[in-house]
């Protein structure tokens, strides 16, 4: 049974939006996060930063860093960046960019949803990252980046969201890069109907596996109460947009030629246009002035739900046996490039660094649901959902 609830939150004040709102933490490199904080010293990144985000040459132990993060949030509130704590509510949230929009429900989701099976995951979590985020919840005591969850189309939810977006918005924000985020409060009676409408529907984790795991640890430590809920936004699956997550491997030109020759000899491979995006069921490999498109077979040892994933086939047929890249994402030669970069930026990557670029088609929602339903996980960095919400617009205290 899916458990959701209204939560009391603070909303950023309009005059502070441009300074406080920050891009999703994992969407930026440490260097980009440092640059953002220089340009926007009041950014919510000051609350969520890690040691990697400190100025060059600076070091702080974890306890001091967390204390500074708590102080940064307290100062934002004291200086008037956020309004007062609102009555518990759910909100319709719309994200729009580049002609695409998706509208979901911002609410509290039971913090033990992963453990109970109400929320199904498709990624592994790393203990070190989970521990850091759990410590952040403990010391900073607030959530601002909602985990993102998908559900199948639901008439009850759709009707309630449609009613909400017809009212005056509680918050409207447009970022420098064109993201438009709008919140509308959902009437109390409709919030109760939402909980009933989703009660028997499975939910699927889209983004925030580590944050959800940290919320579970926080609940285990504190017991029922505010820790019972984590900030989440629930979107209908058909509105979500998943981009590819490509692979780039640092390799010498001679090694690239060897790999492309072996791929061509072993599989159904053919020359293709430079940086042509792959069709469903294939991958395209680019490097050393060459490009091939190939349909890679699955291996018989792969469970059915993951056997057809392009990232799995690429790892098991090319990156592992022909290049020697390990499958856990820890190989220092391997980098992940989100598909939103576009052909020109990918071309610049090849021109600047050389190497082997492996382009993958995006994972479909059908594939994601099948993996989660089977209790399996995808390789690291298999999905890249856009647009992403901004941190610092909504704060929920623990």
Pair of tokens at residue 352:
């600047």
Pair of tokens at residue 293:
């498109």
Rounded percentage of the chain residues whose pLDDT exceeds 70: 100
pLDDT at 290: 93
Q: Where are the domains positioned within the chain?
A: 245-361
DSSP class per residue in 246-307: EEEE---HHHHHHHHHHHHHHSEEEE--TTPPPPTT-EEEEETTEEEEEEPPPPTTS-HHHH
Does the pLDDT of residue 230 top 90, yes or no? yes
pLDDT at 384: 93
Does the pLDDT of residue 58 top 80, yes or no? no
DSSP class per residue in 18-79: HHH-B--GGGS-HHHHHHHHHH-TTSTHHHH--GGGSPTT----HHHHHHHHHHHHHHHHHT
Tell me the whole-structure pTM to 2 decimals. 0.94
Contact 234, 195 (CB under 8 A): no
Contact 109, 119 (CB under 8 A): yes
pLDDT per residue over 160-196, tens digit each?
999 999 999 999 999 988 999 999 999 999 999 998 9
Burial of 125 (0-12, 13-18, 19+ CB in 10 A): middle
Does the pLDDT of residue 60 top 80, yes or no? no
Place of tokens 């009676």: 189
pLDDT at 328: 84
Pair of tokens at residue 156:
């009850």
In whole angstroms, what separates CA 217 from the centre of its chain?
20
Pair of tokens at residue 22:
């920050």
């Amino acid at each position: 049974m899916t458990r959701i609830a209204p939560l009391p939150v603070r909303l950023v004040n309009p005059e502070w939006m441009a300074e406080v709102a920050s891009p999703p933490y994992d969407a930026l490199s440490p260097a980009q996060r440092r640059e953002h904080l220089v340009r926007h010293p009041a950014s919510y990144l000051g609350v969520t930063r890690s040691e990697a985000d400190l100025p060059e040459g600076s070091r702080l132990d974890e306890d001091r860093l967390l204390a500074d993060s708590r102080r940064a949030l307290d100062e934002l509130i004291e200086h008037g960046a956020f309004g007062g704590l609102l009555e518990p509510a759910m909100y319709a949230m719309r994200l729009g960019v580049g002609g695409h929009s998706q509208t979901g429900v911002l609410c509290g989701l039971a913090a033990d949803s992963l453990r109970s099976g109400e929320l199904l995951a498709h990624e592994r979590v790393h203990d070190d990252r989970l521990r850091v985020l759990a410590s952040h919840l403990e010391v900073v005591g607030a959530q601002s980046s909602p985990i993102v969850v998908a559900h199948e189309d639901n008439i009850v939810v759709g009707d309630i969201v449609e009613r909400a977006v017809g009212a005056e918005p509680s918050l409207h924000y447009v970022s420098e890069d064109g993201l438009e985020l709008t919140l509308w409060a959902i009437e109390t009676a409709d919030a109760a109907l939402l909980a009933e409408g989703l009660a028997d529907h499975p939910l699927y984790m889209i983004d925030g596996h580590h944050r959800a795991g940290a919320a579970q640890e926080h609940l285990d430590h504190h017991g029922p109460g505010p820790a019972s809920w984590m900030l989440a936004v629930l979107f209908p699956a058909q509105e979500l947009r998943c981009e590819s997550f490509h692979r780039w491997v640092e390799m010498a030109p001679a090694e690239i030629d060897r790999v492309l020759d072996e791929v061509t000899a072993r599989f159904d491979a053919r020359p293709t246009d430079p940086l042509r995006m792959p069709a469903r069921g294939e991958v395209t490999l680019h490097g050393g002035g060459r490009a091939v498109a190939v349909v890679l077979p699955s291996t018989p040892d792969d469970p059915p739900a993951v056997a057809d994933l392009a990232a799995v086939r690429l790892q098991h047929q090319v990156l592992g046996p022909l290049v020697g890249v390990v499958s856990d994402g820890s190989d220092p030669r391997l980098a992940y490039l989100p598909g939103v970069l576009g052909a020109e930026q990918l071309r610049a990557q090849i021109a600047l660094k050389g190497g082997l670029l492996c382009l993958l088609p995006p994972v479909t929602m059908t594939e994601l649901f099948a993996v989660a339903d089977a209790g399996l996980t995808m390789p690291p960095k298999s999905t890249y959902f856009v647009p992403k919400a901004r941190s610092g617009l909504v704060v929920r205290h623990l």
